[in-house]
A and B are shown apart, each in its own frame.
Chain A
Amino acid sequence: MLLVLRSAAEQGFIYSLVALALYLSYRTLDIADLTTDGTFTLGCAISATMTLAGHPLLGLVLAIAAGAAAGGVTAVLQTKLGVPSILAGIITMTGLYSVNLAAMGSKSNLPMLKEENVFSMAQALFGSAYKLVVAGVFAAVCAVLLGLFLRTRLGLSIRATGDNRDMVSASSINPALMTTVGLCVANALTGLSGALLAQYQKFSDIGLGTGMVVIGLASLIIGEVVVGRGGILRGVLAAVIGAVVYRIIIALALSSSVDANWIKFFSAVIVAIAIAYPTVKEKVLFYQKRRREAKKYAQH
């Protein structure tokens, strides 16, 4: 059981980078960035190929750069070329499918069971908990860096772009540029997350990123339920904690013989409920009020 929890935490830390990316793109910039699915696999693919070539660290660096580039493509499509933002993400994601296959040498999956990777490199240093330490350090460093970044001048400008566009161009900030920077940083995080996962499970697959945007959002929303919303510190914490809690829930579900096929379905349900909640609440209140008023006047 402890082992199950530990591996859930390890995976949670790795996936938390996606939740952090979505905190930036979805919560901060207010863009549902579907590039995420493609970028995650892109990170996996590059990392796997580079690990097989004997350069696991370089694989992480390249995954970050490739992720940023993918985010840049989506950003240019929507800010410069007038493609609606959701469609821009879908276009990049679709294009990335072929790129990802190419990055894995035209194979749909790529095992790398014996090659050295960033986790095995740390094994000598940290003993048996090495995977948890490596994943935790990556999550912590990324969370802290993102938190600090959002307080800088550039970060403030990005946040304002998502908060009040009118105000941004009136403050001599170029909103298109800020959207681009935001999406590049977010997808760099997603790419790194994919790269770490591939090395962690010693395996890359073309389908690993499918539904990643929903899983990331589900994690973020769960985290927000736990630590609350408002402020950067809370947001960043919510992403990391949420991702870990999400993986623990999945692990518990799997160990209690729930069919693994349904995991993505439940992620989708969590996200749909969480996002629909305010609207449903409003409707319920409206119907309650209508019934109450109707009763009141029926008595007269």
Chain B
Amino acid sequence: MLSIEHVSKTFNPGTVNEKKALEDVSLHLERGDFVTLIGSNGAGKSTLFTAIAGGFVPDSGRIVLDGRDITFLPDYRRSREIGRLFQDPLKGTAPRMTIEENLALAYLRASKGGGGIFSTIKAKDRDFFREKLATLGLGLENRLTQPVGLLSGGQRQALTLLMATLVTPKLLLLDEHTAALDPATAEKVLELTKKIVTQQNITCMMVTHNISSALELGNRTIMMDGGRIVFELSGEERRNMTVEELLRRFKQQTNRQLDNDRMLLTRE
């Protein structure tokens, strides 16, 4: 489904601020894979997501999605097939527009043929939105015409998740999308994520700072450090892995402790 082939990226090359953000990263995802990504601060997790979503063109290497080379495709073209959620719950929705208008925008991705650029939101669309919103269990289905700016961070992130998956994407990128929410809301959004990803069998990558949920969710776990993939866990090895063992393994491979400020606070 997704092939990342020898992708490298250096920011500010040749200056004192030179930063090798990605170094020869290669990764292959099969359809339906759910990969969790962990690593220190500045390991390159978000940079990898940005490379996949089209925020920059890598210095070398290529990215292939479902058989199509997307390395030079602009971000808005990729987003027809790639959904992305950020840590900041305000990034994914337009606050001055209503819930139904936000959903209608997300719906644009799919219905290329349906209605043309001058079509408006129909009663049929509203029913569909209501039905989908009801699956979130947040009561948003009765607030279709309210501006999104009135919603809480958790509600907005749940709505963003729904928007990103309203039309099943080929790939879903979750960049610590629950990190800015309070624990109870984070739990709820994570449950919703699990449900939607499983139901629609979405190929998914998730950055998290919570090692135990990284091991528990999905079928593969990747550890990054200094712009490289340090090791990958899957199958039997992953099932038997504990948080302590994983930290030991990290230290052994990189000769240092895992330093992720959020991770230290949430180790369970």
Q: Which A residues are closer than 8 A to B by beta carbons?
A: 148-149, 151-154, 156-157, 159-160, 163-164, 166-175, 230
Is B267 an interface residue when CB atoms closer than 8 A count as contact?
A: no
The answer to whether B109 and A156 have CB atoms under 8 Å apart is no
Say which residue of A159, A163, A171 sits within 8 Å of B79 (CB atoms).
Answer: A171
Nearest CB in chain B: distance from A152 CB, A: 5
Measured in the bound complex, the distance between the Cα atoms of B84 and A3 in whole Å is: 60
- What is the size category of the interface that chain B forms with chain A? 35 or more
Nearest CB in chain B: distance from A146 CB, A: 13
Say which residue of B109, B117, B119, B120 sits within 8 Å of A171 (CB atoms).
Answer: B109
The answer to whether B94 and A172 have CB atoms under 8 Å apart is no
Interface hits, B77-120 → A, CB 8 Å: 77, 79-80, 83-84, 86, 90-97, 101-102, 104-106, 108-109, 115-120
Nearest CB in chain A: distance from B118 CB, A: 5
The answer to whether B94 and A154 have CB atoms under 8 Å apart is no
Given A153-B115, A153-B118, A153-B120, also A168-B76 (CB < 8 A): yes
Given A152-B117, A156-B97, A156-B104, also A170-B77 (CB < 8 A): no
Is B206 an interface residue when CB atoms closer than 8 A count as contact?
A: no
Q: Which B residues are closer than 8 A to A by beta carbons?
A: 53, 74-77, 79-80, 83-84, 86, 90-97, 101-102, 104-106, 108-109, 115-121, 147, 163-164
Majority secondary structure of chain A interface residues (helix, strand, loop or mixed): helix
Q: Which residue of A lies closest to B96 (CB)?
A: A163
Contacts of A156 in B (CB 8 A): 97, 101, 104-105
Say which residue of B74, B105, B115 sits within 8 Å of A160 (CB atoms).
Answer: B105
Contacts of B74 in A (CB 8 A): 174
Q: Can you pick out 8 interface pairs between chain A and chain B where the beta carbons lie within 8 Å of each other?
A: A151-B121, A152-B117, A159-B97, A168-B105, A169-B75, A169-B79, A171-B106, A173-B108
Say which residue of A157, A159, A230 sits within 8 Å of B108 (CB atoms).
Answer: A157
Given A164-B93, A167-B93, A168-B76, also A173-B105 (CB < 8 A): yes
Contacts of A157 in B (CB 8 A): 105, 108
The answer to whether A154 and B117 have CB atoms under 8 Å apart is yes
